Structure 1
């Protein structure tokens, strides 16, 4: 275990402390400012960062509402990866299966919640970085509508993709956290009954066991809906990659060549520097087209439903032997591009101890309905026969 993480936390937590009141406990991802502490982004390249002068807005709001902020969560270096592997701090343990990757970049946030180290954690999601580790670790994770939760004090400082949001083991805590961090969040709407919801099932290429788990959860919820194809998912995935590469290089390219970045991050960040203005312009065109397609699909539905991940997370050994993980974000990254709210909630897989992630995507600004749908689904699954 790395000496840079708290013993007994499976590399999920970088430090323990106490700020705030006596409410539920919260861990904060290492790319979100806490006054008096350095924000290191999981990277040796930022190990000498000066302590933050003030709290990030999300931290300030949690403290104002009496939450206990008790830990700093580990993460994939510079929030620029999906595996959660961190050779400097140590890789957080996946509480569902220690052999498998925890998912990134909010790996410590998902691991800490899944292991019961904290009640809630706050992460960030630029290309699936909340929903992907939530699905890997068997917890709920919510990416709000882009801009709904303030990013002031979150790094990188400028992003057209990134959202700050919560992880928890149940939807009630997700909803309570959103009520604190999202101004104007309507608690009553987020807990409104959703038995009659209209939910469209997006056709997705996923492993049969995961597709069956998602379908069974939909059936248990009792919702009405029809299967649909969602145009331009692949193009939106690729456009999201172009923009995250450009924006991450803009934020952190100055760290290249110093010998302090992990080998994989050094290589990826250097390659990102070659992202052309023409590629960015094309990606922005795809953003407009795909956003319109999602808006149209939601015009007569409360949500879109699909797997969070198309397959189970690979093992750490498989990744270190060269297994690619890029396509694991195929169903989550497009909604960073479009900015729609998206929730991953764990659902059981028949014959397996592991849970899969089911993703619900909603109308922009209607985060409350997505939370209410997640609460309804969670309650339905509790009532379903084992």
Structure 2
């Protein structure tokens, strides 16, 4: 099936199942990043550190998941390995780059999955596929044994269908993660609602979410959000070109990757200097906003995912990452939670962003939102 690059069983046969994106090393298996150009890669000599941690905690690894080639795309479409099915609507894109991980969880092929998030590549597919996805604080989860080897943006993060499972994964892969805090309902929470450009239905659902959960809220303006989106793309381009640019000469990359890498190759030192200046400014702005609130919320994606047909016909998807990529640049923990929206059977994504290093509080707040969403969705479907 297209959700997996390969299927196998590794670890405790009775443990909860988890699938791993094909940028994460598993000893004895090649890490190909779903690319024909890396088909001849040698088997990894050892597990990535996150895999060792999962196995030590009794998890059962069930396979390596499919993805957007070289983790460099937002649609999840891959004409070489196949495109994973979107569990919410098979006619729509599953999102990228961790498409197979999100789909495997949404289709109940595994209890959880790991992906990687450089510019929204966990949170975007999670929102597309109607599951939970988290980007931890940058640097809190080890990237040893994860491709590319060097990144100032990328994070290993989990997917799950419910917060209890996601918290279990975070506890397994994150040194010092306090599971008790993550599973404890906060006594009082103040939420900042970020003004963001999104469809009316999604914006309304995000604005109304704090009151549904019984949280106090206030409006928040992030004036550097757009600049951080652009700066994040500059950094992604430079770092992806450094990691994978040499594969252009193989002639084995998909057409979309060839075009994207050629654009990335034009990134200059001056471009990067501007991007790093924006990184500092935006990080300070988010830190300042989080001094007056416990978390900020905004849409994960500005609209529901487009159809596969539209994507193949050239409809631009660059705006998909407009609200998620900025938090890779700043390094804050960010989680996407399925968000019911009026008039649609599909769920969008509520993005919850917290202070650096307090991933546990982000999880606890997300669990509160999850409970209220389930209650309101059940009432809505009963009266529909």
1:18 aligned onto 2:18: no
1:311 aligned onto 2:303: yes
Match of 2:168 in 1: 176
Match of 1:378 in 2: 370
- 1:167–1:174 contact (8 Å) kept in structure 2: yes
**Deviation string, structure 1 residues 213-261 (Cα, Å, up to 9, x no partner):** 2233322111101111111001000000000000000000110122100
Shift of 1:47: 0.4
Q: Distance in 1 between matches of 2:267 and 2:334?
A: 27
Match of 1:35 in 2: 27
Q: Distance in 2 between matches of 1:36 and 1:301?
A: 46
Task: Provide structure 2 residue ranges, at least 5 long, that are not aligned to the other structure.
Answer: none
1:64 aligned onto 2:56: yes
Q: Distance in 1 between matches of 2:281 and 2:166?
A: 31
Structure 1 window deviating more from structure 2 (206-215 vs 310-319): it is: 206-215
Shift of 1:277: 0.3
Counterpart secondary structure, 1:374: helix
Q: Distance in 2 between matches of 1:281 and 1:19?
A: 44
TM-score by length of 1: 0.96
1:322-361 alignment to 2 at 5 Å?
322-361=314-353
- 2:5–2:34 contact (8 Å) kept in structure 1: no
1:227 aligned onto 2:219: yes
**Deviation string, structure 1 residues 303-354 (Cα, Å, up to 9, x no partner):** 0001100011110111111100001100000000000000000011112110
- Among 125, 139, 149, the alignment partner of 1:157 is 149
Match of 1:216 in 2: 208
TM-score by length of 2: 0.97
Counterpart secondary structure, 1:306: strand
Shift of 1:211: 1.2
- 1:43–1:261 contact (8 Å) kept in structure 2: yes
Give the number of equivalent residue pairs. Answer: 377
Q: Distance in 1 between matches of 2:104 and 2:87?
A: 8
Q: Distance in 2 between matches of 1:40 and 1:219?
A: 45
Q: Distance in 1 between matches of 2:293 and 2:248?
A: 46
Counterpart secondary structure, 1:26: strand
Shift of 1:194: 2.6
Counterpart secondary structure, 1:345: strand
1:239 aligned onto 2:231: yes
1:64-213 alignment to 2 at 5 Å?
64-194=56-186, 196-213=188-205
- 1:195–1:221 contact (8 Å) kept in structure 2: no
Q: Distance in 1 between matches of 2:9 and 2:45?
A: 18
Counterpart secondary structure, 1:343: strand
Counterpart secondary structure, 2:349: strand
Q: Distance in 2 between matches of 1:344 and 1:20?
A: 28
- 1:213–1:356 contact (8 Å) kept in structure 2: no
Q: Please provide the CA RMSD for this pair.
A: 0.8
1:269 aligned onto 2:258: no
- 1:194–1:373 contact (8 Å) kept in structure 2: yes
Q: Distance in 2 between matches of 1:80 and 1:219?
A: 37
Counterpart secondary structure, 1:245: helix
Q: Distance in 2 between matches of 1:97 and 1:194?
A: 35
1:297 aligned onto 2:328: no
**Deviation string, structure 1 residues 124-149 (Cα, Å, up to 9, x no partner):** 00000000000000000000000000
Shift of 1:91: 0.5
